[in-house]
Amino acid sequence: MTTMAEAQPESTGTQPQPPALRYDVATIMGGLYGDGIIALKGAFSREWVQQLHEDVEIAFQEALKRPGGAVGRGPKRYYVEIHPEDIRGFTELVTHPWVHAVCEAALGPDYKVVEIGFDVPGPGAQDQPWHRDFPAPADTTVGRRLNSLAFNLTCVDVYEDMGPFEIAPGTQWDTGEHFEHEMFPPKSFYPRYLERAQRKMPRMGDISCRSALTIHRGTANHSQKSRPVLVLGVDAPTADNAERHDLQFTRAFWESMPADLQRRFTCRVVEELEPIHQAHSIEGLMMGEA
């Protein structure tokens, strides 16, 4: 896992440094605009992640029983969008100083959380085709700016046989003009990605952040274990990824949050949570769904 530089020393004064100063902005920007992925090891305790894993497993089993609750991302591989209230520790996740520092550095002070869900590559999951998660926007292809980020938090320790996430650094800047649906590069491009490929094997408590435009894939899971990973999607004001998602809060939960946190979401506030019908399906990954 690509590792962020250590946090800067705290101020000698009585007030702690804000996240933008505790974590080096140049390192954040250099990683996201260079490799397209950065990470922080040990951001959360293993106990916190174990609790998350329990909640993800419950949400996954419920989603499998509900039409449209889980979308296939390939054989034995699923994606489930969830309600923030489905997991304990949601507030700790979105207010983590590193998460805030990365979002503010790359997306600006008015960034918005638009998505929370998880991927589950189960035993027997196959290599995905190389892809990006959506077409590159004009902000990136013309303006050379990243306007969205995806944070990933593994629920388990990842080993080589568990189908690690694989990414081709620097490919977030590929125009996509020759890609199918502007997302799936032709196989003639694969040698370049294989030459660059990095497999990520994080441990419980590690968190990463990447541009979803950086070409990547899930690899084959040869183990008898699932590899669930939480996904948090964040947009700059110029992005439109909220249209693919349905972030909801109950009024009671919403009113329990401070106003400076409420402003961080593009969401609906409802009296009772409604089932989510997953709208961000990626047709090219559903082929051969089992």
With respect to residue 26, please indicate whether it lies within any of the assigned structural domains: yes
With respect to residue 247, please indicate whether it lies within any of the assigned structural domains: yes
Write the CATH number for 91.
Answer: 2.60.120.620
With respect to residue 17, please indicate whether it lies within any of the assigned structural domains: no
The total of structural domains in the chain comes to 1
In this predicted model, which residue has the larger pLDDT, 139 or 69? 139
Average pLDDT score over residue span 239-261: 94
With respect to residue 224, please indicate whether it lies within any of the assigned structural domains: yes
CA torsion through residues 59, 60, 63, 65, sign: negative
The pTM assigned to this predicted structure is: 0.90
With respect to residue 5, please indicate whether it lies within any of the assigned structural domains: no
Percent of the chain with pLDDT over 90: 83
Average pLDDT score over residue span 86-107: 96
**For 154-180, how does the pLDDT look when each residue is reduced to its tens digit (9 = 90+)?**
999 999 999 999 999 999 999 999 999
Whether the CB-CB separation of 21 and 8 falls below 8 Å is answered with yes
With respect to residue 55, please indicate whether it lies within any of the assigned structural domains: yes
With respect to residue 3, please indicate whether it lies within any of the assigned structural domains: no
**For 171-225, how does the pLDDT look when each residue is reduced to its tens digit (9 = 90+)?**
999 999 999 999 999 999 999 999 999 999 999 999 999 999 999 999 999 999 9
What would you report as the CA-atom Rg of the chain, rounded to the nearest whole angstrom?
A: 18
pLDDT at 128: 94
SS3 per residue for 50-99: HHHHHHHHHHHHHHHCCCCCCEECCCCEEEEECCHHHCCCHHHHHCCHHH
With respect to residue 39, please indicate whether it lies within any of the assigned structural domains: yes
Whether the CB-CB separation of 75 and 124 falls below 8 Å is answered with yes
**For 135-147, how does the pLDDT look when each residue is reduced to its tens digit (9 = 90+)?**
999 999 999 999 9
Residue numbers of the domain that contains 85: 22-284
Separation between Cα atoms, residue 287 and residue 38, nearest integer Å = 30
Whether the CB-CB separation of 185 and 191 falls below 8 Å is answered with no
